[in-house]
Amino acid sequence: MSVTLIGGMDRLKPEYVATAEALGHNLKCISRNERNFLAKIGTPDALIVFTNKISHEAKRKAQQVARARRIPIRFVHSCGVSTLRECLPAA
Supply the pLDDT for residue 26. Answer: 95
Any idea which architecture 2-87 has in CATH?
A: 3-Layer(aba) Sandwich (3.40)
A 10 A CB-CB count for 46 gives 18
Condensed to tens digits (0 to 9), the pLDDT of residues 22-70 reads 999 999 999 887 788 888 888 999 999 999 888 898 899 999 999 999 9
Q: How confident is the model at residue 74 (pLDDT cuts 50, 70, 90)?
A: very high
Supply the pLDDT for residue 73. Answer: 93
Q: How confident is the model at residue 81 (pLDDT cuts 50, 70, 90)?
A: very high
CB burial string 11-35: b at 16+ within 10 A, e below: ebeeebbebbeebebebbbbbebee
Give the span between the Cα atoms of 37 and 60, in whole angstroms: 12
Give the span between the Cα atoms of 79 and 71, in whole angstroms: 21
Residue 23 phi, psi (nearest 5) = -95, 5
pLDDT at 5 over 60: yes
